[in-house]
Amino acid sequence: MPPKAKGKKQIAEAKNAALLEAVLSSYRGICKVANVEPDVDVVSAIKAELDKPKNVKKKFINKVVVRDDTLTLPGVTTMIDLCVGYPHIKNVHFYRCRIGDEGVRLLAVPLGLHLSPPPAVCTRV
């Protein structure tokens, strides 16, 4: 008897797992080039999804939460590359991050948001 053909769900799960492995490898490489430590929470979330047994349904990761008060602009750039490489991410949360206005602008561009520049401050002489 020939082996049973994979269903659409199994094919989608296999593609997702391969994509997650590629994104994790790419994220680590980008962090190394940018001289930034990979975010522990993000890496552990991706690894947890990849390490699930075969009989447990794998889900798409659609939310990234970063809680790092040491995150700076190079770290934001690596997060952007992570989000662009994995299309299923819908929510990105940054808590206690010191990224400032420039970091927010860097995040807004790939997400398609158009932020107006801050209003000019008028001072009387």
Answer whether residue 118 is part of any domain: no
Answer whether residue 1 is part of any domain: no
- Tell me the per-residue pLDDT of 41-66, one tens digit each, with 9 for 90 and over: 888 888 888 887 776 776 777 787 77
Containing domain of residue 21, as a range?
8-111
Q: Name, in order, each residue with C-beta under 8 angstroms of 55's C-beta and a sequence gap of 6 or more.
A: none
Dihedral angle computed from the Cα positions of residues 86, 92, 98 and 101, in that order, rounded to the nearest 10 degrees: 90
Answer whether residue 116 is part of any domain: no
pTM of the model: 0.68
- Tell me the per-residue pLDDT of 80-106, one tens digit each, with 9 for 90 and over: 777 777 777 777 777 777 777 777 777
Tell me how far CA of residue 33 lies from CA of 5, 36, 51, 72, in angstroms. 42, 8, 26, 15
Structure tokens, 75? 């770290």
Average pLDDT over the chain reads: 76
Q: How many domains does the chain have?
A: 1
Q: Which stretches does DSSP call E strand in 5-105?
A: 63-67, 91-95
CA distance 81 to 125: 45
